[in-house]
Structure 1
Amino acid sequence: MTSLSDTAGRLGRFARRFGLRHALRTAVAVVATQLLVTFLNLPQGYWAVVTAVIVMQANLGGSIRAAWTRLAGTAVGAAFGAAASHFGGQTVAAAGLSVFATLAVCAAIPKLRESSRVAGITAVIVILAGHPDMPALELGFDRFLEIAVGIVTALVTSVVVFPSRASRALSHGLAKLFEDVASLFAVVVEGRIREDYPERHVFALKDRILRTLARCRELRLEADAESRDRGESALRAMLLFRGERLFEHVLGMDHVAAEWRGKGLHRHLPEEMADLEHAGADVLTKLAAHLRGNAPLPDVDALDAAVAKAREKLADMRRDRAPAAYDLSEVMHFFSFMHGMLACAADARETVARIRAME
């Protein structure tokens, strides 16, 4: 049984890595759409097949968003194309006017802006690909019907054949975000304590986090398209916001560390900085495991203790007037860096508290 489960797991990872599930879903959607348009005897059924390929995305939420964009754009473009063809005939002037009107309407209505390209293409097709003996309204309706058939087939396939949810992908993406932010936080702090700034490692982590953030923003929109549950949507929005804030705090620390060289005030509290770094990174790493469904919410007691210890040491340094022995630039760099560390700890703690309250 163990060997079978291991084999299944390896096959699943192989399929995800090379996009085999998405390829299979798309192939099924193409075949189903072609069979359906043949049964319905649609005059230009290949548009339905093309639409099925375009609408089929890696997850259901992405397919829903693509379906809405293509359906709305087709409806607007078909309407303006049919009207322009009816009144102006199949002329270049009519095509230009219909595209202008179509794009203007799409630009004026925020929810239609993503549909503008599809709408413009549809308007041109309705006018220039029509036949003199076919009414423009009929051609526009046929185009809309063909697109609708492709969209419906793609959505049904997304639900039935190896369904993939954007919400699950987003949970893993957010987990990766918090995990990488924890790594960046630890690398920047340890580099400062050792007075050895790891430029290449930091650059690689920042680049990876930026790409993860961009993907998470897309997945959040797709997850919201899948489900209208306000509680789940609010939780996703909060986690993405907190991940972005944590990254901003660490970026501020990194900017200071990149310019901060030599001996400084940090030598007065290396133990406190190390404790705060370990506790903060540990909470974020365990939070990532929780988002993957592998662990409970992390305990923040160690983080609270590390924060209290660091604040107490900072108060002692001020009382002993330790900063007075350093120039203003060093003092500003030090307190800016410590502020970033404490801000990361506060946001990590707040994130755990918010999740506990919302779940």
Structure 2
Amino acid sequence: MTGETLRRFLARAATRGGLRQAGRTAVAAVATLFLVTVLELPQGYWAVITVVIVMQANLGGSIRAAWTRLAGTAVGAASGALAASLGGPAWVDLALAVFATLAVCTGMTRLRDSSRVAGITAVIVILAGHPGSSPFAVALDRFLEIAIGIVTALAVSAVVLPSRASQAQALGLARIFEDVAVFFATVVEGRLREDYPERQVFALKDRIVRTLARCRELGREAGAEGRDADGAARRGLLLFRGERLFEHVLAMDHVASESRGQGLHRHLPDELAGLERTAADVLTGLGVHLRAAGPLPELGPMEAAVARAREKLAAMRRDRAPAAYDLSEVMHFFSFVHGMLACAADAAEIVRRLRAMEEG
């Protein structure tokens, strides 16, 4: 690996938070090893393993992973200890412990994500017990080891280079509006040029879908970080509106991908181009604002472009311009323009709602 390649690799890792995550995990692992050594836990390495498993990219993710690990450990340790205390053959104890553990976890909605951890813990308690040791003592040791790892991981997540899911979600939402702006402009320009850019559109759709999914997950993780009701409501609004904007452009994209050649759009190319440019500017400005890099965008130019487009559409109807085209083209055209106007309306509503929240 050349020096330049290494530099680029490290730059990408730093940009994506990889170096921060690696540093936090290393600190937490060393701190946990120190604690279990001082406490002389018999199998303290499980605490260190727990740190690596629990430590996530942000505090909310770590809290959710910690809950899953701790709940699963508690259920598995209890089931394993109870089964082992029966004094039967190891294979019978193992079968009972695993069956009981998974039955409890799958039967309770809040414990379903803990089922694998719980099952592994039950197996360890049954098979890793020491002769002459109480199974309940083995179970308690296992629970304490896991708990120490979890507490250390959460403490390090909150103190050492902290990263919060709410902040990551805000950046993800900014990326959604910026990418939707590019998607919107690409689809409109492709239709006006009568040259549909299939590969570019596919890449944009894929990126937006993945970002939306990640923002939903970050929203759940942000909920575990604390009760920031105002911030959560703001991010919820932005995610909902971002999804709606994406749906509008997807409908436009469906029309553009099926339409070829001359169409009604040739009657108002300047109006559509102006609406595309100003709406994309507002969406891009929203992304910039969410990154705390600029004020909310002004709506005046976009509202003027909407008015011009509506006036031209009314004139086209008066002149009976659609009558010269077949029904399929007319339906496609008005569906496409309706999608553009819906995007502009949603963008304006987002700006107004955000302005009211920030000024209130």
The answer to whether the superposition gives a TM-score over 0.5 is yes
| Matched-pair contact (CA < 8 Å) for 1:102–1:120 | yes
Give, in angstroms, the shift of residue 315 of structure 1.
2.0
Q: What is the CA deviation profile of residues 100-153 of structure 1, one whole-angstrom value per residue up to 9, with x for unaligned ones?
A: 222222223222221111111111111122234122222111111110000011
Q: Is 1:74 paired with 2:57?
A: no
Indicate whether 1:345 and 2:340 are aligned.
no
Unmatched runs of 5 consecutive residues or more in structure 2: 1-9
| C-alpha separation in 1, matches of 2:98 and 2:348 | 53
CA distance in 1, matches of 2:14, 2:319: 62
Is the alpha carbon distance of 1:196 and 1:95 closer, same or farther for their aligned partners in structure 2, counting shifts above 3 Å? Answer: same
Corresponding residue of 1:306? 305
Instruction: State whether structure 2 residue 56 is matched by structure 1 residue 57.
Output: yes
Alpha carbons of structure 1 residues 100 and 25: separation in structure 2 relative to 1, 3 Å:
same
Map residues 327-346 of structure 1 onto 2, 5 A cutoff: 327-346=326-345
Describe the superposition over 1:55-107 as per-residue Cα deviations: whole angstroms up to 9, x where unpaired.
Answer: 11111111111111111111111122222222354622332232222222222
CA distance in structure 1 between the partners assigned to 2:61 and 2:213 by the alignment:
15
In the other structure, the counterpart of 1:5 is: none
1:48, 1:277 → 2: CA distance?
A: 56
1:152 aligned partner: 151
Partner of 1:121: 120
- In structure 2, give the amino acid aligned to 1:167: S
Secondary structure at the counterpart of residue 41 of structure 2: coil
Amino-acid identity (%): 72
CA distance in 2, matches of 1:24, 1:315: 62
2-structure distance, mates of 1:94, 1:155 = 34
Q: How does 1:138-177 map to 2 (within 5 A)?
A: 138-177=137-176
Question: Residue 112 of structure 1 aligns with which residue?
Answer: 111
The question of whether the paired residues in 1 share the 8 Å contact of 2:17 and 2:57 is answered with: no
- Cα–Cα, structure 1 residues 287 and 354, in superposed 2: closer, same or farther, change >3 Å? same
Aligned pair count? 349
Deviation of 1:14 after TM superposition, in Å, equals: 6.3
1:52, 1:150 within 8 Å by CA — same for their partners in 2? yes
Question: d(CA) in 2 for partners of 1:262 and 1:104?
Answer: 61
1:199-278 superposed matches below 5 A: 199-278=198-277
Q: Is the 8 A contact 2:252 2:339 kept in 1?
A: yes
How has the CA–CA distance of structure 1 residues 136 and 186 changed in structure 2, closer, same or farther, with 3 Å as cutoff? same
**Under a length normalisation based on structure 2, what TM-score does the superposition of the two structures give?**
0.92
Cα–Cα, structure 1 residues 18 and 157, in superposed 2: closer, same or farther, change >3 Å? closer
Tell me the distance in 1 between the aligned counterparts of 2:88 and 2:29: 34
Residue 80 to residue 58, structure 1, CA distance change in 2 (3 Å): same
Q: Give the gaps of 5 or more residues in structure 1.
A: 1-10
Provide closer, same or farther for how the CA distance between residues 89 and 242 of structure 1 changes in structure 2, counting only shifts above 3 A. farther
Task: For 2:354 and 2:108, locate their aligned partners in 1 and report how far apart those are by CA, in whole Å.
Answer: 35
CA distance in structure 2 between the partners assigned to 1:132 and 1:171 by the alignment: 54
Which AA in structure 2 matches 1:231? D
Deviation per residue, 1:29-55 (Å, 9 max, x gap): 111001100111111101000001111
Q: Distance in 1 between matches of 2:220 and 2:350?
A: 21
For residues 327 and 118 of structure 1, what CA distance do their matches in structure 2 show? 62
Residues 1:179 and 1:116: Cα distance change in structure 2 (over 3 Å):
same
- Which residue of 1 is the match for residue 282 of structure 2? 283
Q: Is the 8 A contact 1:90 1:128 kept in 2?
A: no
Task: Answer whether contact 1:90 1:127 (CA < 8 A) is retained.
Answer: no
| 1:259–1:13 distance in 2 versus 1, CA, 3 Å | closer
In 1, are the aligned partners of 2:84 and 2:135 still within 8 Å (CA)? yes
Match of 1:15 in 2: 14
Q: Could you tell me how far apart the structure 2 residues matched to 1:162 and 1:16 are?
A: 14
Consecutive aligned runs of 4 or more in structure 1 exceeding 4 Å deviation: 11-14
| Corresponding letter in the other structure for 1:32 | A
Superposed displacement of residue 325, structure 1: 1.2
Summarize deviations over 1:275-306 as a string: whole Å, max 9, x none: 11111100110000000001111111222222
* 2:195 alignment counterpart: 196
Q: Give the aligned partner of residue 33 of structure 1.
A: 32
Q: Could you tell me how far 1:354 is from its partner in structure 2?
A: 2.1
Shift of residue 15, structure 1, vs aligned partner: 3.0
Q: Which range is displaced more, 84-93 or 24-33?
A: 84-93
On the 8 A contact 1:71/1:148 being kept in 2, the answer is yes
Q: 2 CA distance for matches of 1:318 and 1:191? A: 25
